[in-house]
Structure 1
Amino acid sequence: MNKVNEVTSIEQERQSRKEKLAGAFRLFSLFGFDEGNAGHITVKDPGFDDCFWVNPYNMHFSQIKVSDLVMVNHEGEVVDGNREVNKAGFTIHSQIHQARPDVVAAAHAHSVYGKSWSTLGRYLDPINQEACAFYNDHGLYSDYTGVVHQLDEGARIGKALGNNKACILQNHGLLTVGGSLEETVWWFVSMERSCQVQMLAESVGKPILIAEDHAKHTAAQVGSPEEAKRCFQPLWERIVNQQPDFLD
């Protein structure tokens, strides 16, 4: 591949990632994962390893378009865009992207059920097929000290995440990551619903856990990047058809 083709390929991938990112914010709003100015999703820039794209601060998820996205580097400097960046978002995501070079995208929001479940300081149990996607594949960060503005706390969150696809931030909410924006978004949607299901089940009784060997087998079936991408596709088609203006 010559240099011109390489540049074109990077630009095409950048545009694709930005479109998926803007669409992800619309989906999060559609599903009620927005609250005030809290929450952020990032995707690594394909041309610069030390930069990622993120939502502008204090802009409602339902209004975000591709043209509104901001690129920031690991020093917190805005490289592309003219809007302010959420300080907590930068603190968390910059440390995750540095700790996990394999992570292309990360998502955190103050969704109702994830936020509620996080107050228990517990891992999710394998009580149904979807929850098995997170079996032995999510961390727990139990050191809430307020809004995350210090880089060392962002680093501790990254450590709690480990090599997993998700992390429960105690008294705070959910965090998911993936090797693509598609994976990251689907894991967040699925984890939020898994929190909701377990809370509902425990409100009426004691859920029966799936046996360990079956939980591991199911995790391999529903917890792969390929399956996450397949599950994301209908969501993508829905938001493109319903709100195509985000592509501007």
Structure 2
Amino acid sequence: MAPSAISPPEQDAIATTTHGTAVQKKKTPLQMISQGTTLPCIPVHPTFAAHRQWMLEHMAIAFRVFARKGYTEGMSGHISVRDPEFPHTFWTNPLGRHFGLLKSSDMILVNYEGEAIGGNMSRPANAAGFLIHSAVHKARPDVTAACHTHSPAGKAWSTFARPLEMLNQDVTYFYGSAQSVYHEFGGVVFTVEEGERLAAALGPEGKGMILRNHGLITVGSTVDEAAYLYTLMERSCEVQLMIEAAAANGVKKVYVPEESAKYTFEMGSDPEALYWEFQPDLEYEEFMCQNAHKG
């Protein structure tokens, strides 16, 4: 669904005022990618309860997508989603339950003090996950959801402690300050200070971060956005590793031009567009699990 990483095309559309005057109106990224009827915007919900249930169901599907893609590693990995009614709390997954089995009713609501205050409290949350996610949510009020797992390519590329290079159209969604690297590694995150350093490294505009010797973390304004960016960052790490292997044998890299990388980022890395980038995986997983995530 990404727009082409080439010179910017004409982005203006003709709009008409109530007085019949024609004016130029810039198209949104979602309008640009939609030939014909534009895909609908992110749903708006009439109540907090309806919004919460929708978020939890999408969260459960995100975990199941991650499971199908092979991002599981023992008890490691977590997604957090800020509650729509109580923004100083967030939902996360129970410790020790496989991503591929998670349902909306399995999630735990925790506050910034680390207390479980709602949802399914039959199991604990992940302590390291709480410290990472609470720090991110505190530092970034714009972040609704965050994803972190120990996925294979992310772990492999993290050993270089280097950002992903602008080598293809898709990775330009992490152009500029949208990507960062956390250069420290102190083992499992068990201190508030480590979580705060990690959140600071993500920065005010970060969408994805490579954690040295650890893995990846992505954030978004919806769990769909954060989950799609995670799948994209993991795949980009895999592709970068393939490119590095070829380059080691003398094949020269050709980078996306700066202007094209910037343009593609602006036209693709948008909350509405990124929400929709995840919907094909979401719809496929809903079909494959026969809506078991809603239990």
Q: In terms of Rg, which structure is larger? A: 2
Corresponding letter in the other structure for 1:229: Y
Match of 1:66 in 2: 104
Corresponding letter in the other structure for 1:18: L
Match of 1:172 in 2: 214
Question: Are residue 193 (structure 1) and residue 235 (structure 2) matched?
Answer: yes
CA-CA distance at 1:66 after TM superposition: 1.1
CA-CA distance at 1:90 after TM superposition: 0.1
2:161 to 94, 100, 121: 121
1:47 to 85, 109, 124: 85
Higher mean displacement: 198-207 or 29-38: 198-207
Give the gaps of 5 or more residues in structure 1.
Answer: 1-6
- Structural mapping, 1:156-235, within 5 Å: 156-162=197-203, 163-205=205-247, 206-235=252-281
Q: How many residue pairs get matched?
A: 242
Corresponding letter in the other structure for 1:115: K
Structure 1 residue runs of 4+, over 3 Å off? Answer: none
2:173 to 123, 133, 136: 133
Give the gaps of 5 or more residues in structure 2.
Answer: 1-44
Deviations 1:21-52 (A, max 9, x none): 11111111000011100000010011111111
User: Residue 76 of structure 2: SS of its match in structure 1?
Assistant: coil
CA-CA distance at 1:222 after TM superposition: 2.2
User: Residue 42 of structure 1: SS of its match in structure 2?
Assistant: strand
d(CA) in 2 for partners of 1:21, 1:174? 18
2:54 to 16, 26, 29: 16
1:35 to 73, 78, 81: 73
Looking at secondary structure, tell me which structure has more helix per residue.
Answer: 1
d(CA) in 2 for partners of 1:78, 1:207? 49
CA-CA distance at 1:233 after TM superposition: 0.9
Q: What is the TM-score with the length of structure 2 in the denominator?
A: 0.80
Corresponding letter in the other structure for 2:292: D
Question: Are residue 247 (structure 1) and residue 284 (structure 2) matched?
Answer: no
Q: In angstroms, what is the RMSD of aligned CA positions?
A: 1.1
Corresponding letter in the other structure for 1:63: L
d(CA) in 2 for partners of 1:85, 1:207? 43
Corresponding letter in the other structure for 2:94: P
d(CA) in 2 for partners of 1:63, 1:140? 31
Corresponding letter in the other structure for 2:223: L
Deviations 1:97-143 (A, max 9, x none): 00000000000000000110011010000000001000111111011
d(CA) in 1 for partners of 2:104, 2:265? 34
CA-CA distance at 1:207 after TM superposition: 2.2
d(CA) in 2 for partners of 1:207, 1:121? 19
1:84 to 115, 124, 127: 124
Corresponding letter in the other structure for 2:142: D
Corresponding letter in the other structure for 1:64: L
Question: Are residue 110 (structure 1) and residue 156 (structure 2) matched?
Answer: no
